[in-house]
Structure 1
């Protein structure tokens, strides 16, 4: 959700009557938010089904989420500026139409590359659409009603978080009209059409008094810097980390520095910067940006990895995987509610949320460690519920507390920058934790085969397999399971698996053994697959808890309390 509206508020002596259709307009704006929130999470659930249909490597699963959040991040502040220049209603209509067309392109994609490019289109037009809504709310609602209007966003975010994974899983499993995963994008067509018709009828026509100039060089610099860090993180593992990946990541830091210098000079020259440089001289804002980058990276990365673990590692259907996220999402709604009740404690609520979320993540680790390969969905519910409550407690006061150190005239730029950082953090987290997860997976599954090797040898002995052939089969299974898990093309058969098949046929000494050995290998491979995924997931959970510990420490840079007028903010 973007907060890139204009900060200035006029207070004339004769206050004009509030906009007549303001509540109808609010629901149009909320419909746009729902489209964005749903599309940010649905590919986590539908990703494996998409990959099975269109092909592509492990990085395809990461790009499905990262392409959307990255393009949204680099476009948000610019989207807010476009509303100031050309009018918010007009840019909302452009954004909603483009987002709907982007959804249609996603639904009709014939290759991973086309789908990822279509996700970029969705993200860019979403970045044009979303900032306009909040700016219009500030214009339409009188002060006594504005908090109630902004308060609608919390329930909508919570409901979308609960319904998004379930809706995605249901649509993929139901396979309406043979569309499969494509229906998660086709459903945006009626939603987009309704948003467009509602916008034409109910959104107010308004034009900003002073038109800032669009900072195109700044936009290009920050886009380039973000791409230079995200692209090598996602693609580096598939290319075996060549030197150019590290050069790109180093260049990203240089480009970000150039962007900072350019924005400072542009501001001193009296021109409109993309980001107000004075914001970063405030410890509370800079600390909030750092905290947000770490936290939103952690949250989005963990959600992707956990979804991959449940669907690929545990073999859950998309709907079952989506339903498993209900305790997490429901816990987040509970956390939002608790945070409102204890808002007077300010920063302490955010830090308590970090600790509760870390405890929940540790609970997930403990459940996986104690239960092992045979884990079921109900056993994960308590830990996921606690994790969600902690996340709600952390997120509820975040924006208001960070904005407490910002001057009133800087609020528009600060809000847009923070929301762009939120999206950029999500893309970074998907790239980072996704890369760690897939990077460890081959070794994790190989280690799980080693763990089951003695039992496999006993089963092969019972099938009258000779000792030398037994060792060949165990070695081949280890290589095959590892290679298949990290294969760039899931449809291709690794050489090690072809060799395993050949050795299995030659080891059979009778028809009975020929039938029994494949079944033994299938059971061993299935157990090793689940065990390997579980082992890697536990390692990632330690990383997540480490990042949450860093989030807790960074919170000390924030002001203790939000401003009174922002305490009920969104």
Structure 2
């Protein structure tokens, strides 16, 4: 339970406050998209191997995945407005540091810090919306996220390409980070002026050991996947992978012990006894790995393989972004509530068809391929993505008990980000392992085949989910609950990377 500070007990500025919260959503969504397009230009200036481009995305998504497990809890403990301010200020300063980076290492660290502060900032805004607006207004308030996600997913790659090509003041790719500065300043000033403070009546204790175990386990799994190919897969890479799995086993044991002792676990172990939730984690991991990893490979293909400019590459992603918006709109017309799991499966099947179409187009057109050739396949992939994602979070979270909602939302959105990081690592590694022998075209086609298999795995795992979104302890489909859609923010937009 939360209480609002006395100054805001009758809050008149909630729609202005919503606009402030949406500004940080835009920052996050743009930053999840822009480095894919700007990556080749960044590498050309700073040097380093192709794994640098992988790390630009993986460092951000991995650190956010870990941070999201704790970001909401920190707001419960210290106050949502305070944490929002810390997150927005830190994200803005990290963006400045990224824009000023002089070495690959500095930039990767800056991206990781961006992700951590983003994970502190974003859950607070979603929680405040739930508490600022009356139930009759919440649907309209949360509905504002749809257009923001759509516009950001459409504009992000195009903006990145335009800024890199325009080379304003000689900044080149650095401007993709500098554009965060006015947005971040607006968010901080707006939060100081318009956001109310909420404090939890019973603040939970943060599970610091759980945070460390989750972070270490994820790093031990991710690092060898990104760097192993370039280092010719030394033995220690496989030792790290095994150690990562062992650390996650220790994390599971630790969380169970905290629950038995009556302490607040980072992730409630009771969630994993719910088939819908466990299945949802598995579906989310492979689904977003395919989606985000394919987006990065697409950038490698068109910019490095075909030699397209960043702006041309960004504009080429427009059909997929528009297709995803169309898919979300179609699902929002009532299909999501009526079809539930079936709509997710239809969307995944449509994405599989689009992936096959993309590979076939690349094979047929060869070196003469143009953006016009890619439009049909990209529209189909985007439409399938919109259809599949629309019911996903509602189905997975509807059966979660009320006291588990915060933990479940954090875990699900973390797995979403972690899936993206693994997709970048695995598909990027496969792509560059094939390029020296087979060239960019064949490597792209083969990697599209791997993405197809990941989507097929997501389709099969989706049968673990209930047919419709059903609340815990009830037999009827649940009405959409904005609080249980906290995980939806992501990157619906950020998953239109390619």
CA apart distance, 1:565: 2.3
Q: Does residue 550 of structure 1 match 2:493? A: no
C-alpha contact (below 8 Å) 1:137/1:149 kept by paired residues: yes
C-alpha contact (below 8 Å) 2:2/2:200 kept by paired residues: no
Choose 342-351 or 97-106, whichever is displaced more: 342-351
Deviations 1:379-426 (A, max 9, x none): 101110010000011111111010122112111110111011111111
For the residues of structure 1 that align with 2:250 and 2:38, how far apart are their CA atoms?
Answer: 38
**Which of 402, 424, 429 is the aligned partner of 1:430?**
424
**Which of 38, 54, 57 is the aligned partner of 1:65?**
57
**Which of 535, 540, 551 is the aligned partner of 2:442?**
535
Q: Does residue 364 of structure 1 match 2:271? A: no
**Which of 62, 69, 88 is the aligned partner of 2:80?**
88
Backbone CA RMSD of aligned residues? 1.3
For the residues of structure 1 that align with 2:253 and 2:52, how far apart are their CA atoms?
Answer: 35
Q: Which aligned pairs between 1:506-525 and structure 2 lie closer than 5 A? A: none
Deviations 1:162-190 (A, max 9, x none): 00000000000000000000000000000
CA apart distance, 1:22: 1.1
* Partner in structure 2 of residue 231 of structure 1: 223
CA apart distance, 1:368: 1.2
C-alpha contact (below 8 Å) 1:18/1:140 kept by paired residues: no
Deviations 1:513-536 (A, max 9, x none): xxxxxxxxxxxxxxxxxxx21111
CA apart distance, 1:144: 1.0
* Partner in structure 2 of residue 292 of structure 1: 284
CA apart distance, 1:9: 8.0
Deviations 1:328-373 (A, max 9, x none): 1110000001111212111111100000111111111111121122
Deviations 1:487-522 (A, max 9, x none): xxxxxxxxxxxxxxxxxxxxxxxxxxxxxxxxxxxx
Structure 1 length normalisation: TM-score? 0.81
Structure 2, gaps ≥5 residues long: 471-477, 489-498
For the residues of structure 1 that align with 2:469 and 2:141, how far apart are their CA atoms?
Answer: 19
* Partner in structure 2 of residue 499 of structure 1: none
Q: Does residue 42 of structure 1 match 2:34? A: yes
Q: Which aligned pairs between 1:491-502 and structure 2 lie closer than 5 A? A: none
Structure 1, gaps ≥5 residues long: 1-7, 11-15, 445-531
CA apart distance, 1:77: 1.6
* Partner in structure 2 of residue 165 of structure 1: 157
* Partner in structure 2 of residue 481 of structure 1: none
The list of structure 1 runs, each at least 4 consecutive aligned residues, that deviate by more than 6 angstroms after superposition, is none
For the residues of structure 2 that align with 1:24 and 1:534, how far apart are their CA atoms?
Answer: 49
For the residues of structure 1 that align with 2:480 and 2:280, how far apart are their CA atoms?
Answer: 16
CA apart distance, 1:19: 2.5
C-alpha contact (below 8 Å) 1:55/1:112 kept by paired residues: yes
For the residues of structure 2 that align with 1:111 and 1:281, how far apart are their CA atoms?
Answer: 46
For the residues of structure 1 that align with 2:31 and 2:177, how far apart are their CA atoms?
Answer: 8
Q: Which aligned pairs between 1:156-195 and structure 2 lie closer than 5 A? A: 156-195=148-187
SS at match of 1:28: helix
Structure 2 length normalisation: TM-score? 0.93
Deviations 1:244-266 (A, max 9, x none): 00010011111001000000001
For the residues of structure 2 that align with 1:408 and 1:19, how far apart are their CA atoms?
Answer: 26
Q: Does residue 304 of structure 1 match 2:312? A: no
